[in-house]
Amino acid sequence: MPRFLTLADVAEALQISAAAAYALVRSGELPAIQVGGRGQWRVEESKFQEYIDAGYASTAEKVVQGKFTDQKN
């Protein structure tokens, strides 16, 4: 995997829209940098992995706290 990912790469990996990937970056939830004259966003692979790891940790904590319930009737 390359050191830096485009927002399209992030969106594809997470199976979300490009707009959702952009929102993650703009909110600061997913650290990124702007590069080039057009200010295109790039996400460092290590920061992307940290974001994923944090998501797993957050989900695990919610499970332990019983914040997830079966939505099926």
pLDDT per residue over 5-23, tens digit each? 999 999 999 999 999 999 9
SS (H, E, C) 14-72: HCCCHHHHHHHHHHCCCCCEEECCCCEEEEEHHHHHHHHHHHHHHHHHHHHCCCCCCCC
pTM of the model: 0.82
pLDDT digits (tens, 9 = 90+) for 30-58: 999 999 999 999 999 999 999 999 999 99
Domains, the chain, with CATH or none: 4-64 (1.10.1660.10)
